Amino acid sequence: MADLGLRHTAIPGLLVLDLQVHGDARGWFKENWQRAKMTALGLPDFGPVQHSVAYNGPAGVTRGIHAEPWDKLVSIAHGRAFGAWVDLREGPTFGTLHTEELDEHTAVFVPRGVGNSYQTLVDGVVYSYLVNDHWSPEAGYTMLNLADETVSVPWPLPLVDAEVSDKDRAHPRLAEVTPVRDRKTVIIGRTGQLARALAEALPQARAVGRDELDLADPDSIARFDWAGVTTVINAAAHTAVDVAETADGRQEAWAVNATGVAALARAAVEHGFTLVHYSSDYVFDGTADVYRETDPLCPLGVYGQSKAAGDLAVSVVPRHYLIRTSWVVGEGKNFVTTMAGLAERGVTPSVVADQVGRLTFTSDLAHVTAHLLSTGAAFGTYNVTSTGEPTSWADVAREVFTLRGVDPSAVSDTTTAEYTAGATHPVAPRPARSVLSLDKITATGFTPTDQAAGLAAYLHREDERR
């Protein structure tokens, strides 16, 4: 008996499962859908809500090609069939064909927007499929003609001799098909550094500002129209860590980072969309050499506590990606641009040297988000920062000065305590060491940017924007 296996195809997201079938003189048994085992292999945890079965009388029954508005897992309960799938989604693989002979040993995961069809090879075929939305007569399908000359499906039995419905024979040719657009991806946040990078990496996504969806107002989340939304990327957060230590700031931080995120997680469960959320190194106390995704949360200040609470809320969403990062640098004012400006003006700053970590560029966060969503990586928490030797903020400042052609010795070291001494406003505690393990994200096939190379490229882009 072969092991349970998963095969990728030329159609992105169309996956073939080789099932384990246990048989003897009495017949056979198989696990047609086994969530834990199959998602561990890489099958999306697609959340089926309906199981349908089609009985086909004679050999040669041919059905399709239908691109339905839901994901499904198709398989054979009895008999054999020739399966054909055509990508009808908008994009470079539009019109791509995959074929597979189906029997009790095989199942195929069909993502929404991919046309599904089959032709029975023997009498009495029982065709089974699990779907993650309830069938409705009002559901809109995209159809392709079974005899389309461009795709040219190699049907075992010529269609003139097959049992085909008049409706299926009347479907349009590929040139007449309007490609299926991805169901809506919503980016919460429109003007922040990360939101701008996400909008660039995911140009078809819809970015919404606080006027449309305000995380600080749970009623705003409840009122939002989630119909047709498959993915929500939350790029909004209260990130003013020192302000969060004040009375008003504490309320705002908890409202946006915790209460609002909990309401968003509730909406994800209710409406079945995938939730992408971004976490912070501030959920840790900075005492460990390296933090892994499974390490317990132990925040020091209000900002970190509110982010940790949001992380816990997101973790209960069945389809979630929690991307934990540190020292984020994007378009606009930030530590790197500040140091570059000081170098250009001849200022000799003292910079904190007792906080150690790695930079993360918003372009990397945007690209890893697209990577996780497009590859169907296992849901859960992923650390994402640049690679390279961990450095202090003072080390980063010296590298910026060097890249600006200024002697790096102009930057002197100071401690966090010395830097904040005499502050007239509350100062949030910072984790002293924010080094995140990258083993899990690199295992998905994503290669983070090297910190030194990324810093040089970032400053070059900043020069081009001037």
pLDDT of residue 45: 81
CA pair distance 71, 89, nearest whole angstrom = 13
Q: Average pLDDT of the chain?
A: 94
CB–CB of 358/436 below 8 Å?
yes
> In 3D, which of 56, 47, 51 has the Cα closest to residue 83?
56
List the structure tokens of 84. Answer: 């054909």
pLDDT(292) > 90: yes
Which one is catalytic: 118, 127, 129, 291?
129
Q: 34-45, pLDDT tens digit by residue? A: 999 998 998 988
Burial class, 45, CB count within 10 angstroms (exposed 0-12 / middle 13-18 / buried 19+): middle
pLDDT(228) > 90: no
Quick one: CA dihedral 237, 238, 240, 241, positive or negative? Answer: negative
Active site residue 66: yes
> Given pLDDT bands bounded at 50, 70 and 90, which one contains residue 1?
low
> In CATH, what number does 184-465 get?
3.40.50.720
> In CATH, what number does 5-176 get?
2.60.120.10
User: pLDDT > 90: what percent of the chain?
Assistant: 85
pLDDT(357) > 70: yes
Active site residue 141: no
Q: 123-136, pLDDT tens digit by residue? A: 999 999 999 888 88
Domain ranges of the chain: 5-176, 184-465
Q: What is the mean pLDDT of the segment spanning 330-337?
A: 92
Q: 137-177, pLDDT tens digit by residue? A: 777 789 999 999 999 999 999 999 999 999 999 999 999 99
CA pair distance 294, 6, nearest whole angstrom = 26
pLDDT of residue 240: 94
Q: Which range among 42-46, 58-62, 211-215, 245-249 shows the weakest confidence by mean pLDDT?
A: 42-46
Q: 105-117, pLDDT tens digit by residue? A: 999 999 989 999 9
Q: What is the mean pLDDT of the segment spanning 377-385?
A: 96
The answer to pTM > 0.75 is no
pLDDT of residue 272: 84
Element at 184 (helix H, strand E): strand 184-188
